[in-house]
Amino acid sequence: MFMISSGFLEFNGAVPVYNHACDSNPHNVSLISLPVIRKGFDSDVRLFRRGICSMRDFRLSVVCATPQVSIMDHITPVSDLNSDDSMRPSIETALILIRHGESMWNEKNLFTGSVDVPLTRRGVEEAIEAGKRISNLPIDYVYTSALIRSQMTAVLALIQHRCKKVPIIIHNCNKQAEAWSQIYSDEARKQSFPVIRAWQLNERMYGELQGLNKQEIAKRYGEEQVHEWRRSYEIPPPEGESLQMCSQRAVGYFKEHIEPHLQSGKHVMVAAHANTLRSIIMYLEKLTSRQVIGLEVSTGVPLLYIYKEGTFMKRGSPVGSSEAGVYALTRARIFYLSIILCLDLLNLALYRQKLDEMSC
What is the residue range of 280's domain?
A: 92-316
Query: 144 lies in a domain?
Result: yes
Return all residues near 278 (Cβ < 8 A) that are at least 6 apart: 243, 292, 295, 297
For residue 267, with 0-12 CB atoms within 10 Å meaning exposed, 13-18 middle and 19 or more buried, which class applies? Answer: buried
Per-residue pLDDT, 46: 32
The DSSP bridge partners found for residue 143 are 196, 270
Q: How far apart are CA 273 and CA 281, in angstroms?
A: 12
With a cut of 70, list the residues of the chain below it in pLDDT.
1-90, 319-338, 340, 360
Query: 141 lies in a domain?
Result: yes
Q: Which residues are annotated as a binding site?
A: 99-106, 112-113, 149, 203-206, 214, 230-231
Which of these is catalytic: 92, 100, 241, 267?
A: 100
**Domain with 211 in it: what CATH number?**
3.40.50.1240
Task: Quote the DSSP letter at residue 90.
Answer: P
Query: 348 lies in a domain?
Result: no
Q: How far apart are CA 58 and CA 26, in angstroms?
A: 11
Query: 162 lies in a domain?
Result: yes
Residue 203 annotated to the active site: yes
Per-residue pLDDT, 351: 72
The DSSP bridge partners found for residue 192 are 166
Which of these is catalytic: 10, 92, 203, 241?
A: 203
Query: 342 lies in a domain?
Result: no
Give Dmax (Cα) for the chain: 90
The DSSP bridge partners found for residue 17 are 60
Per-residue pLDDT, 218: 94
Q: How far apart are CA 56 and CA 97, in angstroms?
A: 47
Q: Which residues are annotated as a binding site for substrate?
A: 99-106, 112-113, 149, 203-206, 214, 230-231
Q: How far is CA 63 from CA 13, 14, 25, 60, 322, in A?
A: 6, 6, 19, 10, 23
Q: How far apart are CA 85 and CA 77, in angstroms?
A: 14
Q: What is the DSSP string of 237-285?
A: PTTS--HHHHHHHHHHHIIIIIHHHHHTT--EEEEE-HHHHHHHHHHHT
The side-by-side arrangement of strands in the sheet containing 303-308 is 166-169, 192-197, 141-144, 268-272, 92-99, 303-308, 311-314
Query: 291 lies in a domain?
Result: yes
Question: How many structural domains is the chain composed of?
Answer: 1
Per-residue pLDDT, 301: 94
Mark residue 94 as left, alpha or beta (left: phi above 0; alpha: psi -120 to 50; beta: remaining). Answer: beta
Its pTM surpasses 0.85 = no
Per-residue pLDDT, 360: 64
